[in-house]
Chain A
């Protein structure tokens, strides 16, 4: 504690400064009494006694005060305390008048950390009324910045399928409306043309021709799968290869079916689709036997 090399906290500094002041006071009192010098141990003893004397007066005065159901100690409490400690109160004024000589300045230890002006950012929040003034200030306002984190997106299968289905429906509607607006339209209603426009069908001159001839893609597929045997011959999807329907989604469905054929042809041989939905299975074409 006295001159050691340990790192001192601000509280320790606070304590040490006052302790040193007490030592100085004791030294001045000894000088007043007539001593020129003193042993260190003696000065330490007297300092310790002085500190504990003051503390004891404080504790005892507080106890007397609380004993009478008060919180603020008064002069009477202190007098009673001094009397109880064996102190002759009468002699105090005489002593005060006698020794009016030495005054020591208070210790100037201030260890409160002050953030330099360059580091403060913005105005600190002022204290609300219920907080006493000697409490430390609120921190800088950037302390209270919050970044909200978003919830994890829902990965429930059912919800996802519903979302996918509704998105697909919206896309189909938008696309067909777009085509109706930009291309030719037919209408079911005689008078009202614009409410439910249908994409106009383009009739072929020979309508059954496309039904008879295989398309280019189908020619390719037939050549690929000609060598393999097909067990199932289920034709699960009705393939409208011609455009002669009123169904507004027919065109798109056709395109999507053709795409399915080309993409799933490779997987037809021995591979099973994970989803066993009859509408999602690959198209099974009737086997065409070529006579060699």
Chain B
């Protein structure tokens, strides 16, 4: 099976569906690397929302870890939506030699099925014309 960071990961682990078995605290080394890495979300913003939830971080690296996790969460959804967008584009029978134009627009029609895979159901109301 795949071994990374000394933790056994079963080969059937899909993207976020199966919780891996943890034998040691992961990310300890990663936390040390976080000192010089600045995630996209500023520390102040993440810290603000954490404080509102009652979470007072003692270590600023913890905040960066959480903001990275949140970023990854959104990135994964965005990538899934992109896949949907690309599938719709190429499935409609456009010419093969010309690749799908690079301008992808994220629409609710792409986002909804991507979120549905995560178990999040969004229903936007139809606006009256």
- Interface of A with B (CB < 8 Å)? 14, 18, 21-22, 25-26, 28-30, 32-39, 41-43, 45-46, 49-51, 53-59, 61-62, 72-73, 75-76, 78-79, 82-83, 86-93, 95-96, 99-100, 102-107
Q: In the docked arrangement, what's the CA distance between A71 and B88, Å?
A: 49
Hey, which chain B residues are within 8 Å of A90, CB to CB?
4-5, 7, 9, 20, 26
The 9 nearest A-B residue pairs measured at CB: A58-B53, A58-B55, A38-B106, A106-B42, A58-B50, A33-B78, A59-B53, A106-B44, A36-B103
Hey, which chain A residues are within 8 Å of B53, CB to CB?
54-59, 62
Q: Say yes or no: B82 contacts A34, CB within 8 Å.
A: yes
Hey, which chain A residues are within 8 Å of B16, CB to CB?
86-88
Hey, which chain A residues are within 8 Å of B57, CB to CB?
73
Closest-by-CB residue of A relative to B65 is: A78
Hey, which chain B residues are within 8 Å of A73, CB to CB?
55-58, 62
* Contact (A75, B28) CB under 8 Å given A21-B45, A90-B20: yes
Q: Say yes or no: B106 contacts A42, CB within 8 Å.
A: yes
Q: Give the size of the chain B interface in residues (CB under 8 angstroms).
A: 72
Hey, which chain A residues are within 8 Å of B103, CB to CB?
36-37
* Contact (A29, B40) CB under 8 Å given A50-B70, A73-B55, A89-B27: yes
**A56: shortest Cβ distance to chain B, in Å?**
7
Q: Say yes or no: A58 contacts B104, CB within 8 Å.
A: no
Of B22, B49, B105, the contact of A54 (CB 8 Å cutoff): B49
Of B44, B62, B75, the contact of A95 (CB 8 Å cutoff): B75
Of B20, B41, B71, the contact of A88 (CB 8 Å cutoff): B20
Hey, which chain A residues are within 8 Å of B102, CB to CB?
34, 36
Q: In the docked arrangement, what's the CA distance between A32 and B71, Å?
A: 11
